[in-house]
Amino acid sequence: MMVKHCAALLFFLSIVGAGADAWHHPLYLGNGELWRQRIPVTLRNEMDREAAGDPVSVSVGKGHGEADLAGVPVSQIRVCNARGQEMLFAVSGPTGALITRGPVPAGGTLSLPAECPARGTAKYYIYFDNPTAWDVPDFLSAAVGVRNGSVEEGTGNTPAHWDHDPQDPLHQLFWTTENPRSGKRCLKTVVSEGAEPTWIATRQRGIHLVGGAKYVMRAWVKAQNVRGFAGWYIHVGNSQNPMILSPMLRGGEGTYDWREVTAEFTAPEEANRATLGTVLRGTGTAWFDDVTLECAEKPRLLARASKPERLSLRRIGASAKWFDENPRDDITWSHRVPIRVRNFSGDARDAHLVYVDLSGLMARLRGKMRPEAIRVTDGDRVVAHYPLGEGLLVEAGVPAQSERTYYLYLSTDLRIQPGTTAGYDALLESPRNLARNASFEKGTALPDEWPGGAEGERPAGTEMGLDEGGLFGKRCARLHIPHDAKLAWTGWRQDVPVKPGRTYLYAAWLKTRDIRNGSVQLHAHYRNMAGEHCESQKFAGTGPALTGTKEWTSLSGMFMMPEDIANFQLHLTMLASGTVWHDGVLLAEVTPGEVGALEARKATATTRLAVWPVNPLVKVFREDVPPPAPAPARVSAARNEKEPLQLAVRGPAALKGVRIEVTPPVHRTGARLPAPEVAVVGYVPIDHKTSYYSSNTPEWHRKYPTNAGASDGWAGMWPDPLFPRSVFDLEPNKTQPFWITVSVPQEAAPGDYTGEVRLIVGGKRIATVPFTVHVWSFTLPDEQHVAAVYDVRRGPMWTTPGKSADEERREFWKFMAERRLCPDKILPDPVIRYENGRVITDFTEYDKAAEYYFNVLKLPTSYMPSQFTLFGWGHPPAAKHGEKPYEGNYPYEGVDRRKLRPEYKRAYQACLKAYWEHVKAKGWHRKLVLYISDEPYYSRPEIIAQMQALCEMIREVDPEIPIYCSTWHHVPEWDGYLSLWGIGHYGIVKPEKIAELRQAGTRVRWTTDGQMCTDTPYCAVERLLPHYCFQYDVEAYEFWGIDWLTYDPYQFGWHRYIHQSGEPGQATWVRYPNGDGYLAYPGGLIGVEGPVTSVRLEQAREGVEDYEYLYLLRELVGKADPAAKGVSAAKKALAEARSLVTIPSAGGRYSTKILPDPDALLAVREAVARAIEGLAR
């Protein structure tokens, strides 16, 4: 039974009454605490149009209309409108510098994005005074005027608020101290003699303009040997057309000293933003400085702050002593978690349902939590509760204007007897359940209250009706859709009236049989009074998605209702084939209990320091406590292998400067292994349980997840980076893990090696841990038999001062190769141009890189250059070499996608032929793959057709060119076109179909985007993907990024919402799963040279090494006499290894489900190693 819960559901509670006085809670990243003060701000719009995100500023100070925020940490500030919609904001100092950390300075300003009717007013609130709040990652980018126009502020290679364009050796940009006009800094552009003229620039975006207003832009430029011209530009427009107006401020060519350039213009009425930047169109050197943009008209959007308001809630139960059911025995609860329930109103809130999500806690305790041992207390009093899947419902009561803390106690102690609980059926039949005919007992052929049907044409052969064998009564609802039917959303629906701003629990039980071509979960639509979808939220759903055949399973979710809702429309529907039964539908209003941080029972002052080994697949948290009897510290490794030992330390007292010393392991013969590498596990914050999230709200709204996540994780601090250092500070009653990684040379003698880990403080040894390394008698090869491909994307946070892009790239390739991981492709791309019907090539730099990639690093595979990739998602093919793929104009609506323009084919094929012949001559072609498309919208006829046409175009060059596509699904229409399928490893394609593809000679890779997230308790999928490759005869897996960052990953362990278009004319804001796209951290951000590895990345290496164990054993078994000694044990070991992975599975974001016992994997690996030695003798 699975319950999804959103810990950050936004609901508004008022102190007195409703409306403008509502105190908004929770706000983003509040860590479960309240903001105790706020400042009302009144906006006045004197324009004849509405303000839609226009920035307006409030001065910081104690004067009339100013915001009294001086000294308040920026981390504690949140801004929202009267409805509680959080807004981005920006704090600036007196000089205009953006302040993102530390206190708000007196004399500064706070900028807000105004939403205000024409000639009207609006109310905003600035919340502060929450010391537990985390820093926010995003700030308002739209600004009135140029920010840092003198380019004095900034860090690294780029001034604050400016961006450098991508560069190459012939076109370079600098933030320099050379020749500034004023201050200490200026911008510089250098374009080499003979280079192609471009619009390379350093730019500033997001400058707000008022449509119809007059502006003056002033800037300065200096030139040396410029051919062409140097100067500045400004683009004036809006989101749909960013360049309605584009004045150019020309400084001219030649050599000259600082020269002012100006432009006066009137912004078009429809314009609201500008981008400006430097220009060197030609060759030579130019410097740029001191740019301003001034509006000649007085402000017509004003903001006035009021005096701060304060919230006071009486706190009850927050400091309760640790619960002890019987002080006379030694039974204790090892962990507890606070549950906060708040009542902002002036009336007491008597018994009502409070929902507590336990899914994260269950995963956090790695499935070892005993539900029978749960106790919920209100102080010393045990409160009755009853379970609901991976959650609890508690009857709670809270006095007026109070915050009551309950405590949920957890234990694995088998001696604890069950507490008092109630059942799901009692809730199902209670008046609190708003779903009608919830158990489908009413009705004849069809259930009453549940209209059945499809969106569009009902699939042929659909069967809908009642069936026997219900869970809650005699009957249930049954839906059957044939596997060969054309699918449409089909099933049962019911409109249920709900209240805006309230939170509801939606649950039902499902049973499935042979679900294919999709999956089944719970769905719902948000409907307004007109029956249309609500504006801010349209659809909802909760899983996990069910496929195949499953017995009765309960799915549940928590959903907050938008302000314009009238009905929450329940959808017991599916877009799949097979049979599904539904029963026990529940929709009930609940109050989400705010779950605080897990607390471990504190050790007494006399408790000794504990150090113990932990399976490196297991992530160690600060609240972890040592086991009663720690196991000996031991690892095993083959020759030419690395192996980590993870140790955790915990004690009752703070210890500063703990130093880790390691004695290299020694064999009985005196032989030593190399000195192990030492790393301290670091922690990164996670704001919300991981998943993919999307939003269509305006860009100035703060975006963060409000729906339930899709993982077994939780918000909090998560272990991930491995800091390459040997000193750490130990906090009292908090656990700190560290890693000792042993390297075994190829020539090492087999047997046991013993070493010692010592913890030193102030020159004194405080702990000693002996450890053993067992070296097996076999050797792992230098070149892998499976490829673990990770895209290398780089970005500004990876830039290393003084190193070229090629040097950085090679350093990173080496870092990956040392971990047996493979980059996605060779860079730099070769020069391949098509001009006047002729191909012009230069492979010089590409060949140098390929020699290093294939011959030095021994990397197993590479994609071909990106110019041969043709499309992605729902887009038409990209233009290539100046030729469009189809007649007409983009997006080629109505065009036959099977008919490519001959000119397009001719240019593409000529270039591909030149490249293919070159790599064949080098002998590299067998390791190269043409990545034709990423995640195409395979169900659309036009995408099916264009893929067929494009594959034919490639095959006409050479049928042997391997064409790869990350389809996730198997698409029968592309059989015979694609030669290498990228499919999902967790059940999207049945194992039988995978086997069929392989038997036909078709190659397969796993495509794994979104799987390797930070916030799941084990490094399971990283370790297991090579096992999936071995079990299902798949040659490789590919992951879309090893270094793709949208924030500083040490500060924020999640991603920014990015604006993304999946098809022409459609775009939305998308946030990728936490940690998705990166497993390495940039060392430069913390003063470390080179990349910083992570616990996830190291387990990816371990998985590849596991594959080599399995490959070697399979080869030995294949060559051995079936009756030979050791063959039976070897086959058993292989069978145990294969049993570790199955399809379907819950997927990588549910590590506790796909690998419920991490120790089993290490045991299997030991068995495989022993079997290898048994056959190799």
Q: Give the integer Cα–Cα distance in Å for 1059 and 1068.
A: 6
Q: 424 falls in which pLDDT band (50, 70, 90)?
A: confident
Is the Cα torsion angle 1006, 1010, 1014, 1018 positive or negative in sign? Answer: negative
- Taking the C-alpha atoms of residue 1141 and residue 1157, their distance in angstroms, rounded to an integer, is 12
673 Cβ contact partners less than 8 Å away, ≥ 6 residues apart:
664, 665, 666, 667, 742, 743, 744, 745, 748, 753, 755, 773, 775
Q: Tell me: pLDDT of 741 over 80.
A: yes
Q: Does residue 2 have a pLDDT over 90?
A: no
Tell me how far apart the alpha carbons of residues 448 and 587 are, in angstroms, rounded to a whole number: 17
**Amino acid letter for position 308:** P
What DSSP letter does each residue of 328-371 carry, written as one string? TSS---SEEEEEEEEE-SSS-EEEEEEEEE-HHHHHHTTT---G
Q: Tell if the pTM clears 0.85, that is, is over it.
A: yes
For residue 936, give both structure tokens: 């195409």
The proportion of the chain whose per-residue pLDDT surpasses 70, expressed as a percent, equals 98
CA 962 to chain centre: 31
pLDDT of 5 above 50: no
Count of CB atoms situated within 10 Å of the CB of 1047: 14
Which spans in 519-624 are helix H? none
For residue 335, pLDDT beyond 50: yes
CA distance 469 to 120: 61
Pick from 621, 616, 619: which is nearest to 635 by CA? 616
Q: Residue 973's CB: how many other CB atoms inside 10 A?
A: 13
When pLDDT is cut at 50, 70 and 90, the band that residue 4 belongs to is: very low
% pLDDT > 90, the chain: 83
878: CB partners within 8 A, 6+ apart? 869, 870, 871, 885
> Before 630, cis peptide (omega within 30)?
no
Query: 99: exposed, middle or buried (C-beta count within 10 Å: 0-12, 13-18, 19+)?
Result: middle
State pLDDT tens for residues 600-641.
Answer: 888 766 578 999 999 999 999 999 999 989 999 999 999 999
Three-state helix/strand/coil letters over 770-805 = EEEEEEEEEECCCCCCCEEEECCCCCHHHCCCCCCH
The SS3 call for residue 1046 is: coil
Confidence of residue 97 (pLDDT cuts 50, 70, 90): confident
Which of 46-60, 202-216, 449-463, 944-958 tops mean pLDDT? 944-958
Average pLDDT over residues 119-128: 98
Would you tell me how many other CB atoms lie within 10 Å of the CB of residue 1042?
Answer: 27
Burial class (CB in 10 A: 0-12, 13-18, 19+), 206: middle
| Average pLDDT of the chain, as a whole number | 94
Q: Is the peptide bond before 1158 cis (omega within 30 degrees of 0)?
A: no
The strand ranges marked E within 849-996 are: 862-863, 871-872, 928-934, 963-968, 980-983
Q: Whole-angstrom Cα distance, residue 424 to residue 427?
A: 5
pLDDT in tens, 263-311: 999 999 999 999 999 999 999 999 999 999 999 888 899 999 999 999 9
Single out the residue of 976, 906, 892, 902 nearest to residue 942, CA to CA.
892
- What is the C-alpha separation between 662 and 459, in angstroms, rounded? 67
Residue 21 has pLDDT above 80, yes or no: no
DSSP H or E segment with residue 519: strand 503-527
Residues 6+ apart with CB under 8 A from 783: 858, 860
Phi-psi group of 894: left, alpha or beta (phi > 0 → left; psi -120 to 50 → alpha; rest → beta): left
CA–CA separation, 107 and 61 (whole Å): 6
User: Buried b vs exposed e over 601-628: b needs ≥16 C-beta within 10 Å?
Assistant: bebeeeeebbbbbbbbbbbbbbbbbbee
Cα angle: 645, vertex 1099, 1145; to 5 degrees: 130
Contact 745, 674 (CB under 8 A): yes
Structure-token pair, residue 1033? 């005869």
pLDDT of 11 strictly over 70: no
- For residue 950 the two structure tokens come to 């494009």
The total number of residues written for the chain in this structure: 1177
User: Does the structure show a pLDDT above 50 at 15?
Assistant: no
In this predicted structure, the answer to whether residue 758 has a pLDDT above a threshold of 60 is yes
Q: In this predicted model, what pLDDT tens digit does every residue of 844-883 receive, in sequence order?
A: 999 999 999 999 999 999 999 999 999 999 999 999 999 9
- The alpha carbon dihedral of 234, 239, 241, 244 has a sign of negative
Confidence of residue 372 (pLDDT cuts 50, 70, 90): confident
Q: Is 351 exposed, middle or buried (0-12, 13-18, 19+ CB in 10 A)?
A: exposed
Say what the pLDDT of residue 367 is. Answer: 64
> Higher model confidence: residue 1059 or residue 365?
1059
CA distances from 157 to 202, 221, 1016, 1152 (A): 12, 20, 35, 43
Say yes or no to pLDDT of 359 above 90: no
Give the pLDDT confidence of 888-908 residue by residue, as tens digits. Answer: 999 999 999 999 999 999 999
C-alpha to C-alpha distance for 911 and 864, rounded to whole angstroms: 12
- The residue behind tokens 């495989």 is 1168
pLDDT at 936 over 90: yes
pLDDT for 605 equals 62
C-alpha distances in angstroms, 1017 versus 391, 690, 717, 1056?
18, 12, 12, 23
By the 8 A CB rule, do 585 and 507 touch? yes
Pairing of strands 273-295, 309-310: unpaired
Strand pairing partners for 667? 753
Domains, the chain, ordered by start: 21-140 (2.60.40.1180), 154-297 (2.60.120.260), 314-419 (2.60.40), 452-507+528-585 (no CATH)
Closest residue by Cα to residue 273 from 47, 88, 52, 45: 52
pLDDT value of residue 473: 92
Among residues 653, 644, 608, the alpha carbon closest in space to that of 626 is found at: 608
Contact predicate 620/719, CB 8 Å: yes
**Among 439, 478, 448, 585, which residue's Cα sits nearest to residue 522?**
585
Mean pLDDT over 223-248 rounds to 96
